[in-house]
Structure formats: C-alpha cells, structure tokens
Amino acid sequence: MWRIRQFFISLRNFWYFRKEIWNFRGWDYNFQLRLWRKSLIPLRDSILNGYEVRDPRMKKVQAIQEAIDIIDRIIDDEYIDVAEKELGIDFLDTTDAKESMKVVTRSHELANKDWKRLWRIFEGQNHAEYIMLLDRYKIQSQFQDKHDDVWNQWFDGTNLRGWWD
C-alpha cells in the first residue's frame, strides 16, 4: 500500500516541479536556484498554516519569503539596471569608462550583498549569541520564566535546518 502512495506522491512532485525539470540545464547554477526557489514555496506555506506558536512561525515565514525574493533577484540578474538607477548612469549609452566601471562595480556589490544575505538566511543565527544573551539576562534580573521572552527577542526566523512544521 505504501508503494502505491509513494508512487502518487512522486507523480504529484513531478507535476509540481515540471516547469523547472523541463527547463533544467546542469551547467548553470541558475537552474539549481530555480529548483530551490520552487521547493521553498510549499515549505513556506506549510509553516504559515502550521501548528507552531505564531511569533516564531511568522518569523520563519518572513525569512523564507526573503530567501525566495533574493533568489528571484539573482535569477533575474537585474543588478546592472538597479545600479544604473542608483547612480543615474546609462551603462549602454555612456562612453566614459570610469562611469561604466562605477555601474559594474555597484552591480557586483548589490549581487554580493544578496548572495551573502541568502546564505546568512540559510545558515541562521549563532546559538552561542543566544546563550550569552540569556546568561546576561539571568545576571541582570531575577530570572523567572522569562526564557521565552528572551528567545522571541533574539530569534529572527533564519536557519534552514529549523524550517519544518
């Protein structure tokens, strides 16, 4: 019975990822990002409608949505356009090499910022920071069941390993 169920789950998954699978090319990271982006959507929706306590659940949903948005920007690769608007320079029409380099440099800065933020979202927070914060809170006040308050203030919803419901 479980094999039949697994077969239908596999068909459903194939149908869900059909566009990404059809367009997949193994030589470019862009196609892996498209698969990853597509897989984050049902995860986000599952957590959004899940059973976890509201505050941390919504922080996770926001972090997942931010990751999806960043992946969209990386896939669309419109960093030159954004840099042009920021700097007020038309990259294709300028004949000044210094202005062209400003646009290219700024577009690389924007792309690198997105990449770093994406991996920071997946990596999550450093739990040692929470332990230090908790210890500091214990020293500064009478610690009476305030663990959840400290956690809610510290936790930002990041960490791919904690995204489940």
Give the pLDDT of the chain (165 residues) as one tens digit per residue. 888 999 988 899 899 999 998 988 888 899 999 999 999 999 999 999 998 888 899 999 999 999 999 999 999 999 999 999 999 998 888 888 898 899 999 999 999 999 999 999 999 998 888 888 877 777 666 655 566 678 888 889 999 998 986
| Per-residue model confidence (pLDDT) at position 149 | 77
Instruction: Determine the 3-state secondary structure of 15 from DSSP.
Output: helix
| Per-residue model confidence (pLDDT) at position 127 | 85
| Per-residue model confidence (pLDDT) at position 147 | 63
| Per-residue model confidence (pLDDT) at position 148 | 64
Q: What is the pTM for the complete model shown?
A: 0.85
Please, which contacts does 106-114 make with residues 24 or more away whose CB atoms are closer than 8 Å?
A: 107/79, 107/80, 107/82, 107/83, 108/79, 110/79, 110/82, 110/83, 111/74, 111/77, 111/79, 114/70, 114/73, 114/74
